[in-house]
Amino acid sequence: MEEDGGVEMRPVRRFAAITFSIAIILAAIIWWTFSVEIILAWLFGITLVTFLTYGFDKAIAGSGRTRVPEKVLLALSFAGGSLGAFLGRSLFRHKTVKASFRAKLWLVVGFQAFLVFIYIMWVEAKI
């Protein structure tokens, strides 16, 4: 297993490092290749990575392998991958029963909606 300073990396740190690194690389490729705004490239990259992470976690469920921690799934959603989370939950039928996870995911989405509202009211109003 990977080590960090002589101690095994915890699954949260390992999966967070992997998924966010992939999202950053993907966003950079999208931004550079298609010349879109960096925020749109990020949202596309994080959404795709979030969706694929839900699929990966569902695929390894029950195999005895280390699962993707819920903290990582929620962090991906919080970072802009909410659409990927909802699509992944729906398509892979993953994390749909656990009420505590659903509640946390809806809190993330509610917070994001609040941020969008603030952006529209503050930034767009100044234009």
Please give the pLDDT value at position 6: 47
Please give the pLDDT value at position 125: 74
pLDDT at 108 over 90: yes
| pLDDT tens per residue, range 54-101 | 999 999 999 999 999 999 999 999 999 999 999 999 999 999 888 999
- Between CA 120 and CA 116 the distance in angstroms is 6
**Closest to 18 in 3D by CA, of 87, 76, 79:** 76
Q: Where are the domains of the chain?
A: 3-126
DSSP string, 59-118: HHTTTTSPPPPHHHHHHHIIIIIHHHHHHHHHHHT-S-S-HHHHHHHHHHHHHHHHHHHH
Task: Return the bridge partners of 7, or none.
Answer: 4
| pLDDT tens per residue, range 15-34 | 999 999 999 999 999 999 99
